[in-house]
A and B are shown apart, each in its own frame.
Chain A
Amino acid sequence: MELTSEERAILAGKHGEAPRRALQYQIEVGRFWGAKRLVPVTNVHMMGDIEVMGDAGLEYLREETRLEARCRVATTTNARCIDFALCDKLGQDPAEVAKERELIQCLRCMDAVTTDTCINYQTVYQPHLGEHVAWGDTGTVIYANSVFGARSNFESGPAAFAAALTGRTPEYGFHLSEHRKGTFAVELTAALEDLADWGAVGKLVGEAHQDYFAVPVFHGYRRTPMADELKHLGAALASYGSMAMFHFVGVTPEAPTDLGFLSEKMIVGEKEIQSVYSGYSLGDGDARLVVFSGPQQSLLEMKRLAELFHERRIKDGAACFVTTNGAVLAQSRALGYAGILEKAGVTILEGVCFYILQNLSPMRSRNRWTNMVSNSAKIVNIIGAHRFNTILRRTKECVEIACTGCLK
């Protein structure tokens, strides 16, 4: 791999042991993928919490703290596993809560901005066309590549952390123009009026093309999609298909105008969307858990939920969780949305994702939840390891299920 003089200096340990190790690691990863060089990045978004890192990861961060590791570029953190205000109520393990606090402290010592959000692209930083970043959480990566035209691979926790310490990342995959071209076309004839419909598109297209380097090109849609709609589409494509990029003709900056070169064509209409909803087993009919999470809710999603829950009340014995980040929650409180939701009996979790909540499996057992209903196609896909039977429903239907206990 070609290295600049600065990179050679880092590798020689002239900037300290922490960046030296980080760069050595990045070179190994880059060699695997055939990267010719490293590219500077402007922004890093990393996943790091005690549930995903475990004791080994925490010990690693302690060592990096001792080595006086510092983030060289702006570095933010993804949603985490502990809600510090509600951890007791949720039955989260106090020892793990303490470790999470220490972990956050380690990251802050290194100058990371602990935003605890998976919607950094909506609330923290919006890179521009061609800007190289190193982001983790697949939903953030696909949004960066597709909607902004920025350039990132899926950067898992260790890889994003290394990029934070060196300010660069190996140049392979979606940093290269050759991988950013569409590989198949998808005509959207369905109306797609709810966020869950957009997730359903992601499920249909992703399941049929499970390949990191597959890039769908959407076309034929008759209105301008909104940010939250593209967010649910991207999160589902990344989750079901392991995809990191899509194009949307007339919407995203790198979308092609001529689709003639794409041999494979797929159509998603009303019938296909309906087949997604009818494909879920209702299990034993348990309707006591409704979740709006994965990704965290934007301010406009909070507003919509407040409208739907206004003067309603979730059914006795049911639980409804909404997750968002601290900034959106503060604004939701100021605007009265949070108050409406809490009055309806909804629990708002801050800075977390429901999927990675510490102690989620015991929580499920204790509450004897069997089903989980959500308007997020992503979370219904990934939470299976916790042995939930999951059901995707439209936002309004999710609210009805939470308030009536009636699952259809």
Chain B
Amino acid sequence: MNLIHVEKAYGPVVEGEALVSEEGFSPRYDLDRWSGLITRPGHRLEGASIVDKVCFFPTAKGGIAAGWAFYDIKWKKIAPKAFIFGVTNPVMVQGAVFAGIPITAGWAPHPREVVKTGDWVRVDPGRRLVEVIRAG
């Protein structure tokens, strides 16, 4: 099985390398907005880059300030290819849509059963699907 069904989705079809997190994400609390590296001490992906990745996060963290942050990182060319969230909030969606970054919410099965960091995946928001194309 190499498919994840998502409940909600926005954006065009994209492909990229997966970055799978067991911890939630905020572009304000966790990310260095100049390098695209996750820098918050203690984050389970501390040191990892989100640049050009398809990022899987179980939850969204953070407040309103995150809304401008996606546009900012897209402009700096350090944005990910897509955000795949388990649970998200309006700020993440508003921010991703504004920046034109594909985003999805709700998943089955859980990504940990299907995909691991380094795999090559295709995100198809129109069909509500994330597909693992090849193992990393």
Chain A positions within 8 Å of B, measured between CB atoms, are 25, 28-29, 31-34, 47-48, 52-57, 59-60, 78, 136-138, 153-159, 172-173, 210-212, 238-239, 242, 356, 382, 384-385, 387
Contact = CB atoms under 8 A, between A and B. Distances in A.
A291 B26 CA distance: 24
Given A56-B75, A156-B94, A34 B8 contact: yes
A138 B89 CA distance: 12
Interface residues of B, number: 37
Contacts of A242: 60-62, 89
A158 B9 contact: no
Contacts of B97: 25, 28-29, 32
B8 A385 contact: no
A154 to B, nearest CB: 5
Nearest to B75: A56
Contacts of A57: 68, 71-72
The 5 closest A-B pairs by CB, nearest first: A156-B67, A56-B75, A54-B72, A159-B94, A158-B98
Nearest to B40: A385
B89 A52 contact: no
Contacts of A60: 71
A154 B64 contact: yes
18 contacts: A32-B8, A32-B93, A47-B64, A53-B68, A54-B71, A55-B72, A57-B72, A137-B63, A137-B64, A154-B63, A155-B90, A156-B64, A159-B90, A210-B61, A212-B90, A238-B63, A382-B29, A385-B30
Interface in B57-115: 59-69, 71-72, 74-76, 87, 89-91, 93-95, 97-98, 103, 105
Contacts of B67: 47, 52, 136, 156-159
A201 B63 CA distance: 19
Residue of A138, A156, A212, A382 contacting most chain B CB atoms (<10 Å): A156
A211 B98 CA distance: 23
A54 B75 contact: yes
B28 interface: yes
B56 interface: no
B10 interface: yes
Contacts of B91: 154, 156
Given A33-B8, A54-B75, A154-B91, A384 B40 contact: yes
B116 interface: no
Contact of A55 (B29, B64, B75, B89): B75
Contacts of A56: 71-72, 74-76
A158 B59 CA distance: 21
A162 to B, nearest CB: 9
A53 B72 contact: yes
Contacts of B40: 384-385
Contacts of A238: 63
A136 B64 contact: yes
A57 B60 CA distance: 22
Residue of A31, A211, A385 contacting most chain B CB atoms (<10 Å): A385
Given A32-B97, A136-B67, 4 more contacts: A153-B90, A156-B94, A158-B98, A385-B40
